[in-house]
Amino acid sequence: MYQFDVVTLFPQLFPSFFECGVIGRAIKDKRLGFRSWNPRHYTNDVHHTVDDRPYGGGPGMVMMYEPLAQAIQSAKKQQPKAKVVYLSPQGKPLSQLALERFSKESGLIMVCGRYEGIDERVINDLVDEEWSVGDYVLSGGEIPAMVMMDGISRLLPGVLGHEDSAEQDSFVDGLLDYPHYTRPEAVAEQSVPAVLLSGNHEVIKKWRMKQALGKTWQIRPDLLEKLDLSSVQKTLLEEYIAEQD
Ligand SMILES: C[S@@+](CC[C@H](N)C(=O)[O-])C[C@H]1O[C@@H](n2cnc3c(N)ncnc32)[C@H](O)[C@@H]1O
């Protein structure tokens, strides 16, 4: 079982995430485990204070060292070998490659910040890695933690059935995914490309590869630059580009 431990001030955000879809099934099948750790439970004052004003002035509040550190330590006691990840806009941009690496481990401890963020000394003492879900700022680390948990979970053995296999998803081979169609054959004056109705699996495979290359070239040329395309792929992409004129 892969174990997620999430340090959060808002554990109530998570239950529905773990009830639905493939993640819900994985929890029921005991392929996934989830526990939350609330820094508020590690406070001694009547108000259960977890934040304070920033030294040096400025707007907002900062999550204090002690309650947060104790919540992380409690999670670490349960999972001593797990990496501690802080979700932060200052982290490395999350990628499919990183998710694949995390999916090979047996669990993860995730720290969700709130307010202006967390006391830097928590990062220095207890955080192994910082990851960002994108170059924008959200109000808390809970949604980024769900993004990470979702991305990791679907890579775990048995979580996706063969039918929704992750093998052909975007980024797995460095390209965006090809377009998908389902019934009806014609809708809103658009028909399914005839090749997909041909029953010729070789031709369909080639068409899908061409579309994946073409879409990546159009939308994310930066991804193509990182790839060493085969001669077949180069020809398919040239054909795709020529067809656009
Ligand atoms: C309002 S943000 C703090 C932003 C911080 N002052 C900064 O500019 O870097 C509060 C929390 O949301 C989470 N967060 C916000 N944006 C994020 C992102 N792009 N990726 C991961 N976590 C994010 C972090 O846990 C952060 O501590």
Q: What is the CATH number of the domain that holds 213?
A: 1.10.1270.20
Query: Does 180 lie in the same domain as 150?
Result: no
Query: Does 200 lie in the same domain as 86?
Result: no
Please say which residue of 137, 162, 187 terminates a domain: 162
Q: Whose CA is nearest to atom 20 of ligand 1?
A: 132
Query: Does 194 lie in the same domain as 154?
Result: no
pLDDT (tens place) for every residue of the chain, 245 residues total: 999 999 999 999 999 999 999 999 999 999 999 999 999 999 999 999 999 999 999 999 999 999 999 999 999 999 999 999 999 999 999 999 999 999 999 999 999 999 999 999 999 999 999 999 999 999 999 999 999 999 999 999 999 976 567 877 888 889 999 999 999 999 999 999 999 999 999 999 999 999 999 999 999 999 999 999 999 999 999 999 999 98
Among 51, 86, 88, the mutation site with the greatest number of ligand 1 atoms within 8 A of its Cβ is 88
Query: Does 140 lie in the same domain as 76?
Result: yes
Query: Does 108 lie in the same domain as 13?
Result: yes
- Concerning whether 105 is annotated as a catalytic residue, the answer is no
Ligand 1 pocket at CB < 6 A:
87-90, 112-114, 116-118, 132-134, 136-141, 144
Please say which residue of 162, 195, 228 terminates a domain: 162
Q: What predicted TM-score, i.e. pTM, was given to this entire model? A: 0.94
Closest CA to 179 of 187, 188, 171, 170: 170
Cβ 108 vs Cβ 85: under 8 Å: yes
Cβ 118 vs Cβ 68: under 8 Å: yes
Query: Does 226 lie in the same domain as 148?
Result: no
Distance 222 CA to ligand 1 centre (A): 26
Query: Does 224 lie in the same domain as 110?
Result: no
Its domain, for residue 41, covers 2-162
Radius of gyration of the chain from its Cα atoms, rounded to whole angstroms: 23
